[in-house]
Amino acid sequence: MEKVYNFCAGPAMIPAEVLSKVQDELVNWNGLGTSVMEISHRSQDFIAVAEQSEKDLRELLSIPDNYHVLFCHGGARGQFAAVPMNLLGDSDTADYMDGGYWAHSAVEEAKKYCAPNVVDITCERDGKKAIIPASEWSLSDDAAYVHFCPNETIDGIEIRDLPQTDKPIVADMSSTILSREIDISKYGVIYAGAQKNIGPAGLTVVIVRDDLLGKAKQILPSILDYSVLVDKESMFNTPPTFAWYLAGEVFKWLKSIGGVAEMQQRNEAKAKVLYDFIDSSDFYRNEVHSDNRSLMNVPFQLKNPELDALFLEQAKAAGLVALKGHRAVGGMRASIYNAMPIEGVQALVNFMAAFEQQHA
């Protein structure tokens, strides 16, 4: 079977160059006569992988020296619990900006540990889904931190402004990290499940500002405790070594193409091709206002939902897979993360145009 363009929201595409390098060195990595999966995480060879990947990620995101980078387990949902348990300190509340499915899921988990101040930041603008400007978000005085999700993977909503606060800003960047430039120094904690722009599932990246360590609740499991993970250099227990190595290869690839600035330009070009096409058509529509359209996840609906199944079937036959929208939104969703080349987006648009011609 020929290689397909995979629009899955996660686990998502991995750059083809990275996959073929990994394949080449799989059974005999680094001349060791074994794969990287089969060596100790404490060996010199693996420690070199760990150090290089952190160095490359720091360079890609210009991470200041007063931030720690953790490579850990548990996914973004693990962080939904880790964040309050690490950061609440003596406070029993934190501000949670609710802009969509994932921000809302973070709230549900946080409720186990505190009484979150939940702010619905969604609105309607010109008949489309949008987000209230950050200057109008009502934050509370006693919050330990302000949590938000800059890119809602399911809703296809992106928030480009930041909460206006002196409190630590905590961001779930699972589907936005490395897609565009960000100023890390504005955040207290950034976390991301790896399975979109970083590498395979199983790895979680956390970037935490130094002054936020040391406030963890006594009952916090050690594997989620930022201070323990910093202290043990993300090797308190056995880390997901293969996913970590593969993430390191993705970072090298990203550096080789020109880093995050170049990636952002490519991502903007890709998203423009798709949104422009959808906007020019009466057959497809996207419900999100242009102020908040996601660069990474593009949900779209067919005017006639009875054609959804046929659309998916024919798209798959054309080598365009995993386009079914999340059940919460319906319709289609094209996730166009870093590894999706513009040719994939062009192929999707060509297919959509041909399908429209056949069925309009």
Extract the annotated binding site for pyridoxal 5'-phosphate.
76-77, 102, 153, 172, 195, 237-238
- Under a CB-based contact definition with an 8 Å cutoff, are residues 351 and 315 in contact? yes
Beta bridge partners of 334: 298
CB of 149 to ligand PMP, least distance (A): 5
196 is catalytic: yes
Within residues 178-207, the interface with ligand PMP by CB under 6 A covers 193
Spot the catalytic one: 129, 196, 270, 324.
Answer: 196
- Distance, in Å, from the CA atom of 37 to the CA atom of 26, rounded to the nearest integer, reads 9
- Distance, in Å, from the CA atom of 106 to the CA atom of 289, rounded to the nearest integer, reads 24
Spot the catalytic one: 56, 98, 155, 172.
Answer: 172
- Distance, in Å, from the CA atom of 293 to the CA atom of 302, rounded to the nearest integer, reads 18
* Binding flag, residue 174, ligand PMP (CB under 6 A): yes
* Binding flag, residue 75, ligand PMP (CB under 6 A): yes
CB of 158 to ligand PMP, least distance (A): 11
Q: Give one DSSP letter per residue of 175-229, joined into a string.
A: TTTTTS---GGG-SEEEEESTTTTSSTT-EEEEEEGGGTT---TTS-GGG-HHHH
- Distance, in Å, from the CA atom of 265 to the CA atom of 271, rounded to the nearest integer, reads 10
Out of 6, 117, 175, 286, the only residue in the binding site for ligand PMP (CB under 6 A) is: 175
CB of 292 to ligand PMP, least distance (A): 15
* Binding flag, residue 153, ligand PMP (CB under 6 A): yes
Cβ distance to ligand PMP smaller for residue 137 or 191: 191
CB of 195 to ligand PMP, least distance (A): 6
- Distance, in Å, from the CA atom of 164 to the CA atom of 177, rounded to the nearest integer, reads 21
| Stretch near ligand PMP under the rule CB under 6 A, chosen from 53-61, 167-175, 224-232, 259-267 | 167-175
CB of 205 to ligand PMP, least distance (A): 11
What x-and-dash track marks residues 89-118 binding ligand PMP by CB under 6 A? -------------x----------------
Nearest to 337 by CA among 11, 4, 22: 11
Out of 5, 6, 10, 288, the only residue in the binding site for ligand PMP (CB under 6 A) is: 10
> Is the C-alpha dihedral spanning 82, 83, 85, 86 positive or negative?
positive
H or E segment and range at residue 147: strand 146-148
Phi and psi for 269 in degrees, rounded to 5? -65, -40
Cβ distance to ligand PMP smaller for residue 168 or 193: 193
CB of 153 to ligand PMP, least distance (A): 3
# residues contacting ligand PMP (CB under 6 A):
11
Cβ distance to ligand PMP smaller for residue 80 or 275: 80
Out of 13, 82, 134, 149, the only residue in the binding site for ligand PMP (CB under 6 A) is: 149
Q: Look-up: residue for tokens 């209230």? A: 132
Helices (H), the chain: 16-25, 44-61, 75-87, 101-110, 226-231, 241-256, 259-279, 308-317, 342-359
Cβ distance to ligand PMP smaller for residue 93 or 335: 335
H or E segment and range at residue 170: strand 169-172
Spot the catalytic one: 29, 102, 137, 253.
Answer: 102
Active site residues: 102, 172, 196
The residues that touch ligand PMP, with contacts defined as CB under 6 A, are 10, 75-77, 102, 149, 153, 172, 174-175, 193
